[in-house]
Amino acid sequence: MEEVTGSVESIEVEAEKILGSARSRANGILLKANEEAKKISSSELPIDEVKTECESIIRKAREEANKKIEASLMESSEVRARADEKVGEIVERIVNIVTGAKAR
């Protein structure tokens, strides 16, 4: 039973790492977008064009970051679902062993 708990915990840790990585990538994208926006705003372009370009870059960066976060959430959800399935299988095996039922 400790193996099951350990396995589930390690899967949850892996899922959290995936989410952390996605957040980190999203923050990196936003940081890069902000740097580009600052670079554009410091150039000698007309202000309206600069603002439009900044907003466009930031919007695209947020969209990309949100997509990556959503994909990572789905991936971590799948990892958790697989963990639940594995726990169910292990519990069934233990019950079969305890009750003397034949293993499938």
Domain ranges, ordered by start, for the chain: 2-99
The yes-or-no verdict on residue 13 having pLDDT over 80 is yes
Long-range contacts of the stretch 63-69 (C-beta < 8 A, 24+): 64/26, 64/29, 65/25, 65/26, 65/27, 65/29, 65/30, 66/26, 68/22, 68/25, 68/26, 68/29, 69/19, 69/22, 69/23, 69/26
Query: pLDDT tens digits, residue range 51-91?
Result: 888 899 999 999 999 999 999 888 888 888 888 888 888 88
Query: pLDDT tens digits, residue range 18-60?
Result: 888 888 988 899 999 889 888 877 776 677 877 888 899 999 9
